[in-house]
Amino acid sequence: MPRNPFSLAGRTALVTGANAGIGRACAEGLAAAGAHVIAAGRSPMDDTLAAIAAAGGTAEALHLDFDDPLAARDVFSGREVDVLVNNAGIIRRADATDMTEADWDAVIDTDLKALFFTCQTFARAALPRGRGKIVNIASLLSFQGGIRVAGYTAAKHGVAGLTKLLANEWAAKGLCVNAIAPGYVETANTEALRADAERSAAILARIPAGRWATPQDIAGACVFLAAPASDYVNGAVIPVDGGWLAR
């Protein structure tokens, strides 16, 4: 293990959905730890790249649109990437009796199918090298049911299961596969919840930490799971939830 087990100097990390929220925070955190970051997604990455550069890090943008779940099929050919952070995701809210097939398919395709096939293509490149880190962004709804987010709950349960399966297959070959389960984070995905005063108050009342998370709260766990410090961590789904699941 290097002198600083949290150093990512000399490593390259690809973060999907890195334009804002948790993805941007993870990209900035990985860059601060020394990684060269590839900020990937379908939205412009200008703010993320500017923030990383201002802090003295290095980064580049890569256009990936996971409307096509196989969008990353060629990303790792001819490009050595040490760390993959699967953060890109969408959510659709509706009562279970009202959820449309189109919304179900959109969420499953982006949040689960694209994640699996991105892991697959990363592993095909990384396994011959005998090392690599995958960090999947799961959710509290990998453990719980939630309400009005049937597709998202199904997808995030799937992310937790795939994380364990891939760790079982790849850990002995040098790839660490783990996930982070963020709690309630101040991002665009939770804007509707935070705008609902009654729901927001009920959520906050259950969080022992007494506040919603910021995206930066998730970035520290991401750096840990990407760094040598976690080389013997495999198949874990780590809640970063302010104590929500302990309540």
Give yes or no: 232 in active site: no
Residue 4, CB-side half-sphere exposure with 13 Å CA sphere: 8
Selected catalytic residue, list 66, 76, 122, 152:
152
Q: Which two tokens stand for residue 95?
A: 């009562």
Q: Which residues belong to the active site? A: 152
